Amino acid sequence: MTRTRKFLIALSIAVGMAGAGAWAKPEPAASTVTLAPTQDQSQAAIWAARFLTRWHFKRVALDDSMSSEILDHYVEALDGERLFFLAGDLNEFGAYRTKLDDDIYEGDLSPPFVIFSRYRDRVAERTVYARGLLEKGFQFDVKETLQTERSKAAWAKTSDELNDLWRRRVKNDWLRLKLAGKEATAIRETLDKRYRNFETRLKELNGEDVFQTFLNAYASAIEPHTNYLAPRSAENFNMTMRLSLEGIGAVLSRDDEYTTIRQIVKGGPADKTGKVKLGDRIVAVGQGASGPLTDVIGWRVDDVVDLIRGDKGTTVRLEILPADAGADARASTIAIVRDKVKLEDQAAKKRVLDVPNGTGTLKIGVIDLPTFYHDFEGQRRGDADYRSSTRDVARLIEDLKKERVDGIVVDLRDNGGGSLSEATQLAGLFIDQGPVVQVKDAQGSISIEEDRDRGVAWDGPLAVMVNRGSASASEIFAAAMQDYGRALIIGENTFGKGTVQNLVDLDQMARNEKPRYGQLKMTIAQFYRVSGGSTQHKGVAPDLKFPATWDPKDFGESALDNALPWTSVPPAKYQSRGDLSTLIPMLEGRHDQRVAKDREYQWYIEDLQSYRKTRETKELSLLESDRRAERDEMEKRKAARDAARKAAGEAVAEAPTHDPKPDNGLDPNEQPIVADNRDDEATGRPDVLTIEATKVLGDAITLLRGNSELAQRVKSFTLVAEARRVN
């Protein structure tokens, strides 16, 4: 799935949360406001085209051929699973196939808005049809299936074809809820609300959303990691990189017409009041201690967020309807002083695990790094406490050293990257000066990003965990640690993203005083390992492999359209720290013997195989007997595992469990708010792969401590002396 498609789906399927009102027969969709491009958007498109054609690493002309690609990517962004458009619609859109390039240069953005208008009409038709099916319900003793993968399917020629497809989809939704124990009345209410909210969210999309989706279609038609960010999206991206914002410290979501408190940031302004609770509904927002309250019922969440955000030290007032109160209950007004809020969910964290090594116990520190972040704005201002992944990891290393750990595992699983400079600086915590990554620009010039600081934060035993979701900056860091022989790389082959993006502020280029044009995240270079090879397509291969979670054809750089090819450059001049090649076969042998007897690890492999088999299945049975048998088998397997854990004297609730949860029939954004937060807290338990990675590093430490000749050959890290340990 492309990012552009994900983007629009995320916006348009932001349906309500828990709770459902009375079900009502559907009525034809009310008329919606006609969307049209603005002059600013026309100018932004022209500026974007200038940069994309002249300065992108992969220079591609904006011509008839590219116009055709843009059209295909835009249609995919709107209807990638081919659930709404008809073949006749696509034939009509064909009139734009060789015109979009000229339209962009001429500032005429009407075609994408015309296409979006048709999309909105088609969604309204399907929503009315889907809701209409709910009154009669379904019989589940008919042998039929639902096609689950339609991205390559033929476009439906008639509404009757789409109706049959949607009948099966609604039937599947109903069956999921029925298997979860819901009664018919509750199922009708839940599904009617789901489909109604889907259309409501779609109607709320504005011209900026349409324009951003279209320009992203152009960007992704060139290369998959190039994006356009409209002004609001650009600010949100920058906040993510800073890991901070100024506001009240609450995550908001939509529940019917209400904006709801989905999550409260611990220690944030909202939390400190003691008056804001999960599930509370915001009905109005006021500025300052006495400013007028603005009714926000029915507003888009991001519009409400804009009202609530503000400068540190200022006051915002929220009129709140308690979570457990009825719609007619009395609302209360809460004044909150805005402050700087740290987005700790994406910050580096640590834990220490005890690992038996035969004669005693080793202490292994685990540092989880979800992304490579850097508050460049705070650094420019001279803020002493500006956030960066390297600064945070350095602090955590000092904490772990005080805890006398024997080794450290850096967990980069599902870390999609971030700042290139952060990857370089993070590597500098573990190597004493030297090149980290080579960068080749569009002109073919090669520069070297290197660690120039003397000394290291940690010279002891080190491992890096990666998986298919580890990309970009994660691959730079992992590749450097591997090339220097500094760390064991454990896990599965990484994503394979070997390109460098730079943010181009179109408003700055056009000298606009206020944000009007947005930003381009544009590929400007390709990076290479110090050994000369690229991570593009190939990724970083681990020294010790864990089972693969994804097939490369389904996920990774090799699965993306228009990805750049693999190439290489001459190696940089660097001094390897050591050679782990002699050690790795020994570690593999111990790992294989251990996991063969590890009950949790074998269960993990069993679940992974089942998951991959399910992914390869392109059809879903709509026979209740088939689906109930599958559910019963899963619940039986879960019960047997829990019984085995209890028999072994383990606390089931605290086990590092990977067991799949029974489907409750709800979409992710329909899950109960309190349950969601409990699940988030539960993720703090170490998973089976983390535990095994610490054992692998423990094996390395034990082998090297017991064999000085082997340690001399490996030379990859300084062993922590037993005398430093505090038992």
Catalytic residues: 472, 483, 497
Q: Which amino acid is at 688?
A: V
* H helix and E strand count, the chain: 23, 21
Encoding tokens for residue 326?
A: 């009825």
Q: How many residues does the chain have?
A: 727
Encoding tokens for residue 485?
A: 């022989």
Looking only at the bridges linking them, the beta strands covering 339-342 and 244-247 are: antiparallel
| Whole-angstrom distance, CA of residue 449 vs CA of residue 162 | 54
Q: What is the CA radius of gyration of the chain?
A: 27
Of 573, 601, 584, 592, residue with least CA distance to 541: 584
Does residue 23 contact residue 189 with C-beta atoms inside 8 Å?
Answer: yes
Query: Exposed e or buried b for every residue in 454-484, given b needs 16+ CB within 10 A?
Result: eebbbbbbbbbbbbbbbbbbbbbbbbbbbbb
Burial (CB count within 10 angstroms: exposed 0-12, middle 13-18, buried 19+), residue 223? buried
| Whole-angstrom distance, CA of residue 579 vs CA of residue 479 | 14
The DSSP call for residue 720 is: P
Of 106, 103, 99, 108, residue with least CA distance to 65: 99
3-state secondary structure 316-382: EEEEEECCCCCCCCCCEEEEEECEEEECHHHCCEEEEEEEECCCCEEEEEEEECCCECECHHHHHHC
The DSSP call for residue 388 is: B
What 3-state DSSP class applies to 75? Answer: helix
Encoding tokens for residue 597?
A: 């007897």
